[in-house]
Amino acid sequence: MNNSNKLAGKRVLITAGAQGIGESITKHFIDCGAHVAIHYFSSADMAEELTKYALDKGQKALAIKGDLTNEIEAAEMVERTIVALGGLDILINNAGSLVARKMLSDIDTEFWHKVMDINLTSMMFVTRAASPHLAKNNNSSIVNLASLAGRKGGHPGSLAYATSKGAILTYTRALSTELGGQGTRVNAVAPGLILGTLFHNTHTTKESAAATTASIPIKRAGNADDVARAVLYLASEYDGFITGATLDINGGVYNM
């Protein structure tokens, strides 16, 4: 059975699903026949465009704005998803940000907590709210977005970001053990250099991107579709035997 057949009719919530990698993930799910709830923070136009794209295909869809570092807004997003889609089969925790590059000597307490809240605490808020709904299915799936920075430590100035993404690797393993009994598999992906996204357009210089690309064994950077296909694979195996795993998507730069 191919991924499209497995995902047709599944109810999916994608955080930060209207920008960069999240946009590609959302579109791939729609093309596979899934019903989607598209969370966004600032990308309203794309969220509405993706919603229309799904509705035009005869699938359920809605766009939900929210600050996921706010516990109440995170829970409300999940509840709106349940009402609109009639339940939840798959959760994609994609929201996250580097925020800014800061060396240890420049990191103040407020910045540290901001990065941790955006990348890690928000993921816990959303997952905690979604877990009881995922448990209502015989099989369900969560895919968390980590990063190669969580494996290697990242480039200078990404200490807080890399630490939060490294924590997601452990969070994924721990959560897979905790939720396994309810039939929910939990996995992660760890993308490397993925060009063409706002993240790297904002935080990566052309010189740095070129140097990193030159070090990649397959001699190209990744793109958002490379990540989306991997996310869909893990999600489509919602009835499979893979859980607690992290799939590295980096062209061979780092192997675990």
Catalytic residues: 161
**Are residues 24 and 145 in contact, defined by beta-carbon separation less than 8 angstroms?**
no
CA–CA separation, 74 and 37 (whole Å): 13
In 3-state terms, what secondary structure has residue 90? strand
CA–CA separation, 113 and 131 (whole Å): 25
Strand order in the sheet with 35-40: 61-65, 35-40, 11-14, 90-93, 140-145, 184-191, 246-249
CA–CA separation, 143 and 91 (whole Å): 6
Q: Which residue has the tokens 């889609």?
A: 85
**Are residues 190 and 251 in contact, defined by beta-carbon separation less than 8 angstroms?**
no
Residue 184 identity: T
CA–CA separation, 140 and 87 (whole Å): 11
Backbone angles phi, psi at 129, to 5 degrees: -70, -35
